A and B are shown apart, each in its own frame.
Chain A
Amino acid sequence: MTTSNRRILEFVLDNLVWFMLLAVLAVFSAFVPNYFQISIFTNIIEASSVLGVMSIGLALVIIAGHMDLSVESVAALSAMVMGIIFCSAGIGIGVQLQPDWLAVPASLALALGVGALIGAFNGYLIVKVKMNAFIVTLASYIWVRGLVLAISGGRSAQDLAPAIRYFGIQRVLGIPLTAWIAILCFVVFSFIMAKTKFGRHLIMIGGNENATFRAGIRVNRILVIAFILAGCIAGLSGWLLAVRTSGATANLGVGLLFNAFAAVVIGGVSLKGGVGALPGVYAGVLLLSAINTAINLMGLPANFTQVIHGLLVLAAVLLDTFKQTIRQRLA
């Protein structure tokens, strides 16, 4: 094989999920009525914003060789806390700040703060107390959702302060600001993962934690930061969720965790840790959203969504194995 052919093949392998996305978009555009239009594509990007941001946090801890099952409940709690304070209907107490725009940084700080607290709690138990990440974050997944129910009493908060809701309505280049926030998060965290010491160390820890520790890298510190970041990012996704739905209900975000896992795996992140890049994860999120939209437009029974998601995850893992085999042959 010539060098240029090898380069092309490696490029395709590295970006396989993007090619899958393009293929899926092309097929749907050709066969699903009303699919091929700019508004549908912007809807796909917009619908990906919450799941996309949540997937970033999940990907960070998975790349570091751990797991965080609490992200969905953390997002719900952040959304509910924010809803109670900044919504004016339902259980919202409608706190008003002067000037109005102050509600935006205040609500963001609140959502991120809630996420950071739970992330720090998870990180402490996993890294310092050496408890299993699966168990700790599973427990958080349960108790945090319980807390959402406890503080809301099962009721909902509606009518988010207009200054915050602005982000769900206002569009730039036809794309809502919430989607731009998600895109910005992917750009920033992709840069952090690829170009900073922290990102490289995180990948090293996921590859071999002991070797990274022996190399003099402060593994525990980086891992705790990763969990806090995952919590913060989940908090941000909760903020976006509340903005998108103009409030919060006790079951808000239910089911997002498994979609986030699906997106991360489809995006090429290895559940064993040490492998994965965030642009691929974004492609995975867009792919899931593109399929959901197609199912919405085709009017297929929703159960098909779950079947297709499941098969897609399987296909992604198979493709990953196929990629590894080709790479071994190339080497």
Chain B
Amino acid sequence: MKRILLSIFGVLAVAIAMLTPAYAQSKGKVYYLVPTLLDEFQTGSVSALELFLKQAGYEMTTLNADNKTDAQQSQMNDVIALKPAAIILAAVDFNALKPSIEAAMAAGIPVVEFDRQITSTPSAFTSVAGTVEIGYVAAEQAQKLLTAKYGSVKGKVLQVLGDPGDPYTLDIQKGFEEKMKAFPDVKIISLPAMQWEASNAGTIVADQMVANPDIDLIFSHAAHLSVAGVASLEAAGKKPGDVMMMSSNGAPVGLDLIRKGWLNVEVEQPLYAQAAAVAMFMDKIVKHEEIKAGEYDVLGLKGVVTIEAWGPNIKVPGAAIDKTNVDNPAFWGNMKAPTGTITPVP
């Protein structure tokens, strides 16, 4: 009996001794509150943040809110009680999470806004591509495509939004329509695919192609919606190139559609760079040190830090992907994790 107990204690002692250096190497635990995992961008963000934070010396734990605001609020409350080094938040609802962010910051836990900018309350750091800016880039691309077809910016655009309750899609719509307002000869039909569900997008495209057969361009707010749109076009006897298509977020399926000739442009969210920026500044965030405004090299892209009313904010511009650059491994949709390592900002 004595021997057995001694052996158990011995094994435990060895195990603890092995674990201790691991803890010693870690600079702390960071929680990432992801809005949903039913979306390729979000699942990609988990692995990207994990990869870069590990390089910066942090452990990361992810909590999924399943797109439920109340669930994310509870997660915030739970995580605050655990006193982590930092919380990375991609908010389900931009406004509803405000009190939770304030509670965390008041408890001395820095909150980093990832991908979804919250301007109504200060955060320790914000890393975004800018959803409104994605709309701007999409508008520029739409102008190019329509000009190539007609010689001037005119025609009919079907804009397939995501869920109408999601501020993410509303911001892209805002940016897109703001820039397209300058072209009165462009008619935009905007319809939402409830719950970002692909078959809803398919139905919208099928109906609209019958009611408005002269649609020139279909702009979907996520690549997986474009896939259903393509399925509907195919069912209606259309071939690649018959109707111009464009979508945003840069998911792998979108890049596949570019290679097949269905999609003209995919506006990428620079997922890797957004995640890398968080890791680059994590030491400063955790130590509550000042983050200075300026330009920073983030995985070869130009990230601009500005000091806003809601705190330091880095914006990494989204890129337009078309058939000329679709195979660039820097695009997260190509699913090739960046080989370079990040350097923490001193």
> Is there an interface contact between A176 and B235, defined as CB atoms closer than 8 Å?
yes
- Chain B interface residue count, CB cutoff 8 Å, equals 39
Instruction: Give the complex CA separation of A74 and B256 in angstroms.
Output: 28
Stretch at the interface among B112-120, B187-195, B242-250: B187-195
Q: Which residues of A contact B37 (CB under 8 A)?
A: 149, 154, 250
A40, A245, A301, A303: which contacts B198 (Cβ < 8 A)?
Answer: A245
> Is there an interface contact between B227 and A168, defined as CB atoms closer than 8 Å?
no
Q: Which residues of B contact A154 (CB under 8 A)?
A: 37-40, 42-43
Instruction: Give the complex CA separation of A249 and B36 in angstroms.
Output: 13
Q: Which residues of A contact B203 (CB under 8 A)?
A: 43, 47, 292-293, 296
Stretch at the interface among A131-139, A155-163, A194-202, A318-326: A155-163
Taking CB atoms and an 8 Å cut-off, the chain A residues in 223-254 that contact chain B are: 241, 244-247, 249-254
State how many angstroms separate the Cβ of B191 from the closest Cβ of chain A: 6
> Is there an interface contact between A249 and B235, defined as CB atoms closer than 8 Å?
no
Taking CB atoms and an 8 Å cut-off, the chain A residues in 256-309 that contact chain B are: 292-293, 296-297, 299, 301-303, 305-306
- Do A254 and B42 form a contact, CB below 8 Å, given A247-B227, A297-B207? no
State how many angstroms separate the Cβ of A145 from the closest Cβ of chain B: 9
Instruction: Give the complex CA separation of A296 and B200 in angstroms.
Output: 10
In the complex, B197 has a CB within 8 A of chain A: yes
Instruction: Give the complex CA separation of A153 and B272 in angstroms.
Output: 18
In the complex, A205 has a CB within 8 A of chain B: no
State how many angstroms separate the Cβ of A225 from the closest Cβ of chain B: 29
> Is there an interface contact between B231 and A245, defined as CB atoms closer than 8 Å?
yes
In the complex, A62 has a CB within 8 A of chain B: no
* A interface: dominant SS: mixed
> Is there an interface contact between B164 and A253, defined as CB atoms closer than 8 Å?
no
What total of A-B pairs shows CB separation below 8 Å?
122
Taking CB atoms and an 8 Å cut-off, the chain B residues in 256-299 that contact chain A are: 256
Instruction: Give the complex CA separation of A247 and B226 in angstroms.
Output: 12
In the complex, B228 has a CB within 8 A of chain A: yes
Q: Which residues of B contact A246 (CB under 8 A)?
A: 227-228, 230-231, 234
B203-220 to A contact mask, C-beta < 8 Å, 1/0: 110111011100000000
State how many angstroms separate the Cβ of A164 from the closest Cβ of chain B: 12
Given contacts A169-B235, A252-B198, A255-B200, 4 further A-B contacts (CB under 8 A): A46-B206, A149-B37, A244-B202, A251-B195
Interface residues of chain A, those whose CB is within 8 Å of chain B, are 33-35, 37, 39-40, 43, 46-47, 50, 89-90, 149, 153-156, 158-159, 165, 168-169, 176, 241, 244-247, 249-255, 292-293, 296-297, 299, 301-303, 305-306
A–B pairs, 14, beta carbons within 8 Å = A33-B211, A46-B235, A89-B252, A153-B43, A154-B42, A155-B40, A158-B253, A159-B256, A168-B235, A244-B228, A245-B202, A251-B196, A292-B203, A296-B204
